[in-house]
Structure 1
Amino acid sequence: MNIPHLYLIEDNAPSHQTARSVDKEERKEKDYEKDEISTWQFVGASKAVVDGAKAVLVQTWEDLPQAVIDNKCQSFHEKLQRVIIHGGNNNFNG
């Protein structure tokens, strides 16, 4: 699968308008929980491209250690509490 550009956007940033292009070397890094693959980039894509993306996502999920999943689930609840404390806004960097 050839993805020409990938943009990282920090969801909880005060300005949701900041994006930066990630080069090929950075994409190889393992720690990219905040990566989001837009489903729109697959609209009109061939079945082979979509199937390839699905296979990569499934393999990535299966390779995740259970400890990482547990940690992210726990941090979700902590971040949810922070949103509640901030009156429903996620205008903090969390």
Structure 2
Amino acid sequence: MENLEQILENNYVKPTAMRLLVLQFLIGKKVAVSLSNIEAYFDNSDRTTLYRTLKTFVESNIAHQIDDGTGITKYAMCEANCLCEMENDLHLHFHCNNCNETVC
């Protein structure tokens, strides 16, 4: 597996400390997570910085945004070679009402 810095650099994203931490967090998750989930994990970080990091990841095809019908945007890692284009990357997301988790 590529190291974290290499993943960012391969997607033309400058590896900052916060980007590396958020990337490591997302890679470790098997379910999609919300900004609030990430903010709770990084309790001493700035919400705006986290949001901008996620936005950068989405724009760079590192992560993708998920609308799972709950009204809360979720984020998950993109698969290798994902272009996050609606025409080419259609896949289902399952939201469990019991555990309140969303998975690809």
TM-score by length of 1: 0.30
TM-score by length of 2: 0.28
Higher strand share: 2
Q: Greater Rg, structure 1 or structure 2?
A: 1
Higher relative contact order (CA 8 A, sep 6+): 1
